[in-house]
């Protein structure tokens, strides 16, 4: 049907009465959209009415008891996001402390929501993270009494079973200031010394043995206090106070060591940072797929801060040699004197061509990117290529197609052969598409060399796998 485009200008031309009628018709029977319209109407009544409406909606969500399905979860997440935006746009500019109160109340909805839904995809968690980020932006403008704010934060963290408030201290550090942080530290230290309460034990009432339950409850409660003390130390720039919450073994964990080393570097202690990193670095026999990029990056930063140029150059090359890391190679080349980089690039190419497993070398060529090297690698080691690594081979074949069509075809064939030889019916749709891509590339390949021409390859597939009708049916559809 011909007519005007559905855009804002043409809608405005309809006039207020017509738009109001259309809106009422559109939201009829849709509670979520009706609430959004009511909230927009409340915005025109002023901030007090708006705050009252937001609190009213929070109360309604809090009273909910039924299970929240995945579809309803997405709708609720959208509504919570909209409520956060209303707070940000309508209330925050005029009253930072009122905005914080509403944000905090929104975060407190998290526990009840998590208890009624499966948030394995992180839909609700992501909304709550955005709210905490908004609080972080708001903190410099807040005028709340520091000690009262510290007690608010402490209470929320003690009762947090889903990690909603995990970053509260970092977010509110500026609003807490030295006075609030000091009071929060006192509360956390006192909590570690206090006897367990019935509420503490109640969290572990699923454990029948009383001694075990008490031990678990004590560890759980103290874990929260220790996290608070660590965050306070971080906010105060106390690196040692932050690190003391970890054991020496934990500080050599590849995930924790970079965090500690970065803090030591920022504090002007590169020697201490380097010692910590060296204790955490994996050995020579480490699995090449088990990468530690953050740990290696802070290792390089330590060496650079200490002016150890040759050690930095060697460490960058070793990371490239072990992990085929393009960034490490680029960093290494930058440290070399003029004209030595060409020789190093040639050595790097030889390492890639000989690297095992070949899938890691293909991944390097895709990431670098170096399509010429990829084509050379595929030509030299096509028999080693495992067609199961489709997450690497599919994008690499697509990238190779324009300039290196034969290399692309060999990757597509590897994936086709894997799917058919292993009877992976779930991949037949992709294999059929790859065979079509091979046919399209055929016109651009003047010489297949030692490899079968497309018609011969396709005929061979029919002889070997003619009975796999699920594949050939998809091929005909494509």
Per-residue pLDDT tens for 319-376?
Answer: 999 889 999 999 999 999 878 889 999 999 999 999 999 999 999 999 999 999 999 9
Q: Where are the alpha helices (DSSP H) in 90-160?
A: 96-114, 123-138, 146-158
The answer on 101 and 179 residing in a single domain is no
The answer on 194 and 154 residing in a single domain is yes
The tokens describing 350, both together, are 């030889």
User: Which tens digit of pLDDT belongs to each residue from 277-329?
Assistant: 999 998 766 665 678 899 999 999 999 999 999 999 999 999 999 889 999 99
Give DSSP secondary structure letters for 41-56.
HHHTT-HHHHHHHHHH
The answer on 164 and 131 residing in a single domain is no
Q: Where are the alpha helices (DSSP H) in 236-370?
A: 239-243, 257-266, 270-280, 293-305, 309-323, 326-335, 340-354, 358-367
How many domains does the chain divide into? 2
Contact 412, 437 (CB under 8 A): yes
pLDDT-derived band at 1, boundaries 50, 70, 90: very low
Residue 476 has pLDDT above 80, yes or no: no
The answer on 138 and 39 residing in a single domain is yes
The overall average pLDDT reported for the chain is 90
The answer on 124 and 67 residing in a single domain is yes
| pLDDT number for residue 119 | 94
Domain termination site, one of 227, 244, 261: 244
Residue 467 within any structural domain of the chain: no
The answer on 121 and 67 residing in a single domain is yes
Spatial separation of the C-alpha atoms in residues 385 and 393, rounded to whole Å: 9
Residue 447 within any structural domain of the chain: no
Q: CB-based burial of residue 178 (10 Å sphere; 0-12 exposed, 13-18 middle, 19+ buried)? A: exposed
Domain termination site, one of 223, 244, 265: 244
Structural domain including 180 reads: 144-244
The answer on 126 and 177 residing in a single domain is no
The answer on 98 and 172 residing in a single domain is no
pTM of the model as a whole: 0.73
Spatial separation of the C-alpha atoms in residues 244 and 291, rounded to whole Å: 27
| pLDDT number for residue 36 | 65
The answer on 137 and 47 residing in a single domain is yes
Q: Which of 178-187, 219-228, 395-404 has the lowest mean pLDDT?
A: 219-228
SS3 286: coil
Average pLDDT value for residue range 136-158:
95
Angle subtended at Cα 109 by Cα 118 and Cα 47, rounded to the nearest 5 degrees: 140
Q: Which long-range contacts (CB under 8 A, 24 or more apart) does 305-313 make?
A: 305/265, 305/270, 305/273, 306/270, 306/271, 306/274, 309/335
Residue 187 within any structural domain of the chain: yes
b vs e for 117-148, b when ≥16 Cβ sit within 10 Å of the residue's Cβ?
Answer: bebeeebbbebbeebbebbbebbeebebebbe
The answer on 150 and 105 residing in a single domain is no
The answer on 90 and 157 residing in a single domain is no
């Amino acid at each position: 049907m011909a007519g005007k485009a559905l855009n804002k200008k043409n809608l405005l031309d309809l006039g207020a009465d017509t738009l109001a009628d259309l809106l009422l018709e559109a939201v009829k029977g849709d509670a979520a959209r009706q609430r959004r319209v009511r909230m927009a109407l409340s915005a025109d009544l002023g901030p007090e009415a708006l705050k009252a409406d937001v609190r009213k909606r929070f109360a309604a969500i809090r009273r909910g008891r039924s299970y929240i399905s995945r579809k309803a979860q997405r709708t609720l997440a959208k509504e919570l996001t909209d409520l956060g935006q209303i707070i940000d746009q309508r209330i925050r500019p005029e009253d930072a402390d009122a905005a914080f109160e509403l944000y905090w109340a929104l975060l407190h909805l998290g526990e009840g929501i998590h208890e009624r839904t499966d948030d394995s995809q992180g839909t609700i968690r992501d909304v709550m993270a955005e709210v905490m980020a908004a609080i972080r932006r708001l903190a410099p403008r807040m005028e709340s009494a520091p000690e009262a704010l510290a007690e608010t934060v402490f209470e929320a963290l003690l009762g947090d079973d889903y990690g909603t408030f995990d970053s509260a201290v970092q977010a509110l550090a500026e609003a807490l200031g030295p006075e609030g942080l000091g009071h929060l530290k006192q509360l956390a230290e006192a909590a570690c010394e206090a006897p367990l309460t019935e509420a503490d034990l109640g969290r572990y009432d699923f454990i029948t043995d009383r001694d075990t339950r008490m031990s678990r409850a004590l560890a759980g409660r103290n874990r929260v206090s220790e996290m608070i003390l660590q965050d306070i130390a971080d906010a105060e720039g106390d690196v040692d106070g932050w690190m003391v919450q970890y054991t020496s073994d934990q500080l050599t964990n590849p995930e924790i060591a970079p965090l500690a080393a970065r803090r030591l570097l920022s504090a002007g202690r590169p020697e201490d940072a380097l010692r910590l990193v060296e204790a955490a670095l994996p050995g020579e026999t480490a699995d090449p797929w088990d990468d530690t990029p953050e740990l290696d990056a802070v290792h390089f930063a330590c060496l650079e801060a200490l002016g150890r140029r040759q050690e930095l150059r060697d460490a960058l090359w070793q990371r490239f040699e072990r992990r085929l890391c393009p960034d490490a190679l680029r960093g290494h080349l930058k440290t070399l004197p003029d004209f030595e980089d060409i020789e190093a690039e040639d050595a790097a190419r030889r390492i890639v061509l000989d690297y095992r497993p070949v899938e890691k070398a293909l991944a390097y060529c895709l990431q670098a990117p170096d399509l010429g090297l990829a084509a050379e690698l595929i030509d030299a080691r096509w028999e080693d290529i495992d067609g199961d690594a489709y997450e690497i081979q599919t994008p690499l074949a697509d990238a190779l197609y324009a300039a290196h069509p034969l290399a692309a075809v060999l990757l597509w064939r590897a994936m086709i052969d894997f799917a058919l030889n292993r009877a992976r019916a779930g991949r037949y749709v992709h294999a059929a598409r790859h065979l079509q891509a091979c046919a399209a590339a055929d016109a651009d390949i003047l010489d297949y060399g030692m490899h079968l021409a497309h018609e011969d390859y396709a005929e061979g597939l029919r002889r070997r796998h003619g009975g796999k009708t699920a594949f050939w049916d998809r091929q005909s559809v494509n």
